Chain A
Amino acid sequence: MTGATTLHVRSINHKTAPTAVRERAHLTEVRAAELMDALSAGSTGAGGGRGEPDCVSVIPVSTCNRTEIYLEVRVGADPDAILREALTAIGAEADLFFGEHALRLDNLDAIAHLFRLASGMESLMLGEPQITAQLKDAYRQARAHHEPGPGLLRAFQGAFRAGKRVRTETRISTGAVSVAFAAVELARKFFDRFSRHRAVLVGAGETGALAARHFLQHEIGQLTVVNRSFERAQALAATLREEQLRQLDEPDGDDTRRVDRALRARADRIVARPWEELGAAIAAADVVLTTTGATEPVIMPDMVHEAVRGRHGLPLFMLDIAVPRDVHPEVSKIGNVFVFGLEDLDEIVQGNLAARRNQIPHAERLIGEELDQFRQWLEDIDLRPTVAEFRAYLEDLKDKQVGFVRKKHSDEVADEVDKSLQQFIKKVLGRSMSTLRNSESREERQRHLETLRHLFSTDDRDPD
């Protein structure tokens, strides 16, 4: 690692620590802010005697599966000592971050980890997109609190870019990897516009409610809740209705589809019907979700025969996620009736996970490309001040020349000269940078830098 700072991460995550440890390591928003304060007011041992703290910047990231602390410290400073001191100061369990459950990575390894994390490669559910939003939140909070150093700033920006590339150029985030989403994915193989279709939920238990929520989230046109206890059906319908109306006031996230607000607001979108009307409810539905606690099948062949009679061949999608089964085995033999169970959803999930795993090499390649860019940036850190000075010198000369031309000629001519000299400066700087980058050794590079400083130093500039 070159430059005036070094980068580090100390992580406790689902791969290194059990849930109990992760819970102890979790940093609330308040705790994270305290940690940032403690680190910015920390020791100044390596500050070069300038009274600046050793810790240039910190970005804590704490989610349900991980607590990670990204640090940028001055060269020569001990990141572990700095972090331990700060964690102790805020009353956190400092030892957790240095024990057997901690992952400790430095410099490029730390950055590679961050890039992989932003790409969903480190997530419990490979490719899940939530981590990007969580990282962005942590980054925003850190910036609001204290401007991160150049290293962390660049690292996080690179991580977001890497994450975006991996998500858009690979299929690592496609396909349902949870049973609830698999249910929606499976139903989408029948009906592409949910808003035109109706669903019926048989049973008012928690599992059914969860499945129903997913279908409502994907804009199913109407949901009818049927339960042996009509009161429970009504209560669940009312709860789901309230949730939908509450969501009307919430802005949609980046990764959600546009919600048909008028559809959500419709009062009759979620209704309850008594158990006696189960057959009629099925007849009126395209999607049947059933999760009752019954010990015998409740959806019988004659009921379904009756239901499909008026459908003119339109498929009826039935999802039986009850144990034992709610749908009689004979029902699946009825034409245009498709009955699926939990094992089918699991098969879809496994298939999607396998497809995501196949994308790992491609994702790794993209992350490698982004890491190379970051590495290049790191290697050029020591060039920047001198090149910036050189640029300023050239810009200054250019402005003088353009001013001179402007006095003697028209503005148009002066503007053309300005443009032309801009191009000239760009080429000169580009050539200088590539010469410096391609130096055979660090010593030679330093010599070139010294020469450049000596030749174009601001102190030695010709006043004319």
Chain B
Amino acid sequence: MSTALTLITILLPLGYAAVWADYLWLFYTDHPWARRTCSRLAGSLVLLHMAAIVVRAVGLKRLPMGTQSEFLAALALALMGTYLVIERRLRAKQTGFLTTGAAALLMLLASLAGPGTANTSPLLQDPGFAGHAVLVLLAYTALSLSFLYAILYLVLARQLMRRQFGLLFRRLPALETLERMSVVAVEMGVPLLFLALALGHLWMYNLADRVDPKMAATLTPWDPKILLSWVIFLAYTAGLVGHRFWGWRGRRMNIMAVAAYIAVVVGMGAIHHFFPTFHKFPTLDAAVTADTLEQSLARHAAAGSPLETREWR
């Protein structure tokens, strides 16, 4: 089993690179062979990667997102998987080179990061955290794709406005398609984000009984990261409602999508660096040195405290 996993670890970055090359070939040449193979190749790779992650999770008895390498690989998988869902729904393959390229880069970074030190964080063994983390990853991946398609919309619109009939004009799908791809990505991201937040809230209350009282006091729904996530959820939901019922379309809609995503990134970054939040994990953030939820949970687990389930208050 370990040999197979090692082999897959070596093969996956090569596979991602091959998929990217195939999509790039499609974009530049529109070759029929590339058109036939790219989605199948990407789909096979996603299945292989998912299988590898499941096997790894079973083997390690934890969520395989405990090292930088594991996290980057999971991000690559989320990106590729989310993209494939959108591509399948809209039958537009010409933008694949961008997403698969980003996924291939993440896989390369994951390989370069090396295996890292074995992570025994009790958080990673917690199903509540695992579900929450995976949903958050998928939700923000979908929103990132929405941003990408909105950017492509604006680029193509600009090309058309300037009457530039070059490669992008010939290869990119219609403005209408790009807009729909952006909207579909949001349609995927919004429910995923809601589920992630709901699960996060439930898990937080369950967790409060398993950490130091001082740390338990910080577990609050008013945590700035949680609050911002709800704002993001509401903003994107409003965007969807506007698109569906109030006819928000075109350039304005896509500028809003770009602006919203930039606000998400800037807001999250600012909160992470300048506000107190329990959402900091040494596992994924080398800069985190203060006493964290993760450390508190580890201490509590080592002390052998019985697990309790606190009721929702």
Contacts and interface: CB of A to CB of B under 8 A. Distances in A.
Nearest to B250: A313
A168 B32 contact: yes
A338 B162 CA distance: 9
B250 A191 contact: no
Nearest to B252: A313
A266 B232 CA distance: 44
B248 A192 contact: no
A192 B176 CA distance: 6
B22 to A, nearest CB: 16
A335 B165 contact: no
B251 A335 contact: yes
Contact of B174 (A190, A314, A344): A190
Contacts of B248: 312-313
Interface stretch (B66-74, B153-161, B213-221, B298-306): B153-161
A171 B31 CA distance: 7
B247 A312 contact: yes
B30 interface: yes
A154 to B, nearest CB: 26
Contacts of A348: 165
Nearest to A182: B165
Contacts of A190: 160, 174-176
Nearest to B255: A313
B174 A191 contact: yes
Contacts of B246: 312
Interface in B16-38: 29-33
Contacts of A189: 156, 160, 169, 172, 174-175
A376 interface: no
A375 interface: no
B30 A174 contact: yes
A311 B249 contact: yes
B170 A351 contact: yes
Interface string A312-331: 11110000000000000000
B160 A347 contact: no
Nearest to B249: A314
B313 interface: no
Contact of B30 (A171, A338, A344, A351): A171
B282 interface: no
Interface string B275-301: 000000000000000000000000000
Nearest to B174: A192
B253 interface: yes
B251 A175 contact: no
Contact of B29 (A171, A313, A335): A171
Contact of A314 (B169, B177, B250): B250
A191 B176 contact: yes
Contacts of A351: 165-166, 170
A338 B165 CA distance: 14
Given A313-B252, A344-B163, A355-B170, A169 B32 contact: yes
Contacts of B33: 169
A313 B30 contact: no
B165 A347 contact: yes
A313 B256 CA distance: 12
Contacts of A340: 163
A313 B249 contact: yes
6 contacts: A190-B175, A312-B252, A313-B248, A314-B250, A315-B250, A351-B165
Interface of B: 29-33, 156-157, 160-161, 163, 165-166, 169-170, 172-177, 246-253
Given A189-B156, A314-B247, A338-B160, 4 more contacts: A169-B32, A313-B248, A340-B163, A351-B166
Chain A to chain B: the 4 pairs with minimum beta-carbon distance, closest first: A313-B250, A313-B252, A192-B174, A314-B249
